[in-house]
A and B are shown apart, each in its own frame.
Chain A
Amino acid sequence: MSSQPSEFPRTLPALDLDNEAFWTGGKNGELLINRCDDCGYYVHPPTGFCPSCESRDVRPQPVSGRGEIVTMTVNYRAWFPDIPVPYVVAMVAIEEQQDVRLITNIVDCDPLSVEIGDKVRVRFEQVEDLWIPLFFPDPEARP
């Protein structure tokens, strides 16, 4: 079952020069996370400064789109009309770097089946000119 019809009403973020790549990379099927050209550290939320080596050569780079659920909640309350409940809000750590954590929804599964520690993969949902990263259970990680 799908927990996430595409009609899920989403509040969209306003774009700026730092966050635009993250919210639009899905147009090319890419999850773009800022990364330091000098030391390889991923910087999220995206800025042009590497807190690890102080380089300013930090640019959006595609990552694998694989991650792990660090924590999650099943939300049962419809905070606005037309929001299908229940749905899962999760914090996903990307495979490349544990301290890059994305707030997201876990979709394409029974909300009550989702657990902390589950491996997940990204997919995108287009809303207007943005591509919202969502995650679904990694089929290769399931027995």
Chain B
Amino acid sequence: MTTDYPEKGIAITGIGQSKISRGAQKSALGLTIDAVMDAIEDAGLERKDIDGLACWPGAITDGSGFAPVGIPALQDALRLKVNWYANTRETSGQFGAMFNVIAALNAGLCRHAIVFRTMYQATARKRGLVNASFQPGQRTYSHMAWHAPYGAFVAVTQQALYFARYVHESGIRPEQVAQIALNGRRNASLNPAAIYRTPLTLDEYMESPMISSPLRIFDCDVPIDGSTAILLSRREEAKDMRNPVLHIDSIGCNMHYRNNWSQLDALATQAQPEVANMMWNRTDLCPKDVDIAELYDGFSFHSINWLENFGFCKQFEAGDFIEGGHRIALEGELPINTNGGALSAGRMHAYGQIHEACIQLWGRGEARQVKGDPRVVALSTAGGPLAGAFLLVKE
């Protein structure tokens, strides 16, 4: 039995989310307060109970809206007294903050910890700050400096390099790739909080503009203003709290590849396979036990990659697996991205997936609720050299 891994002693006990929009009527901090207070209330706790705080990646005050709110601003606004806090920029993708909280709770450094992720990119883009770290005429110290001179300013161009290699090796066809976007939009049509809810047809996808091949506009997620908060507690305490216990059954957080966007030694798969292996090695569960997969879809190809790297299908066979979209639909054998994902519900940047996993496990999905009392959700995040994964289980 793989019962002694420490993440099994940790549970998600509350979730919260602000209004998600293409232009907020509140500040980024205001949205963050909404999400965090929502999560505390959801767990049946009060502000004074929160003694741990984490976020990803910490405040980046460059006007880009990528991460406008960090721990100090939120903590001071809510007048929280914490025993442990940390942001976590250099880690296994956005989930790194979750993994740090798991460690801190196990170390006894705190009892109830909030993780939040706030983005304000919809408003920032209206102000013209597309990318604050790469500007023509300026010398960059960015970790992406090897890309900088070549017009590879943005994630879509940088990551298209991995996806193009995947297309080259797998032979996946555009109409197969399209199913990720179509599935997301179909699910979003049942989610009142999603950004884009009008059904998308295969023809519309195929006729949509190419941004950076092989990525079309519908393969790219939607920048939003919004905040998501996740409350984690020790499993023993969770048993006495308001919501049914959802425990973390295993995590994948390693990095066994070259940790470098230009030298990553796993182009077609990105850093995902070893992360998925770690996750499966720490649990008695296996892919066939998973009821729902909330797969990162910053770009559609991320979800395609994760389907293979999690072992839901064989390597380079995801195209066949998703063809027609039936298997991954809400009523299919493996529903994915049930709220519409980042492609249609908006870029909550992996924390939307955690929020949605809890919605489904707690049976709050309403029109988009997956039938049959789902019990196990697999979650994944990020691309390139970043990757993180975990299994969330309802007891």
Contacts and interface: CB of A to CB of B under 8 A. Distances in A.
Given A79-B130, A99-B265, A12 B149 contact: yes
B262 interface: yes
Interface in B137-157: 137-141, 145-154, 156-157
B262 A11 contact: no
Nearest to B260: A45
Contact of B212 (A9, A77, A127): A77
Contact of A10 (B136, B156, B161): B136
Interface stretch (B61-69, B162-170, B221-229, B356-364): B162-170
A79 B153 contact: yes
A71 B161 contact: yes
A103 B262 CA distance: 7
A91 interface: yes
Contacts of B130: 79-80
Interface in A93-134: 99, 101-105, 116, 127, 130, 132
B120 interface: no
A105 B161 CA distance: 12
A80 B152 contact: no
Contacts of B164: 71-73, 116
A75 B147 CA distance: 14
Nearest to B261: A103
Contacts of A104: 150
Contacts of B265: 99
B210 A13 contact: no
Interface residues on A, range: 35 or more
B172 to A, nearest CB: 14
B125 to A, nearest CB: 12
B134 interface: yes
Interface majority SS (helix, strand, loop, mixed), chain A? strand
A12 B138 CA distance: 6
A3 B317 CA distance: 35
B149 A80 contact: no
A73 B160 contact: yes
Given A11-B135, A12-B140, A73-B157, A89 B152 contact: yes
Given A45-B260, A73-B157, A74-B210, A103 B151 contact: no
Interface in B259-293: 260, 262-263, 265, 267
B211 interface: yes
B165 A77 contact: no
B213 interface: yes
A91 B146 contact: no
Interface residues of B, number: 40
Interface in B199-230: 209-215
A73 B151 contact: no
Contact of A75 (B134, B139, B212): B212
Contacts of A63: none
B88 interface: no
A44 interface: yes
A94 to B, nearest CB: 12
A107 to B, nearest CB: 10
A11 B138 contact: yes
Given A44-B263, A89-B150, A75 B157 contact: yes
Contacts of B176: none
Interface in A50-83: 70-77, 79-80, 83
Interface string A12-34: 11110001000000000000000
A10 B135 CA distance: 8
Contact of B151 (A8, A13, A71, A116): A8
Contacts of A83: 151
A70 B165 contact: yes
A79 B157 CA distance: 10
25 contacts: A9-B136, A11-B136, A11-B149, A12-B140, A13-B145, A14-B139, A45-B260, A45-B262, A71-B162, A73-B157, A73-B160, A75-B151, A75-B152, A75-B157, A77-B211, A77-B212, A79-B151, A79-B154, A79-B157, A89-B152, A89-B160, A89-B212, A91-B267, A103-B146, A105-B150
Given A10-B148, A71-B162, A71-B267, 20 more contacts: A9-B137, A11-B137, A11-B140, A12-B138, A12-B148, A12-B149, A13-B140, A13-B148, A14-B141, A15-B139, A73-B164, A75-B157, A75-B211, A75-B212, A76-B213, A77-B212, A103-B146, A103-B152, A103-B262, A132-B150
Interface of B: 130-131, 134-141, 145-154, 156-157, 160-162, 164-165, 168, 209-215, 260, 262-263, 265, 267
Interface of A: 8-15, 19, 44-45, 70-77, 79-80, 83, 87, 89-91, 99, 101-105, 116, 127, 130, 132
Question: Across chains A and B, which 7 residue pairs bring their CB atoms closest together, nearest first?
Answer: A9-B136, A73-B160, A71-B165, A13-B145, A14-B139, A11-B148, A10-B149
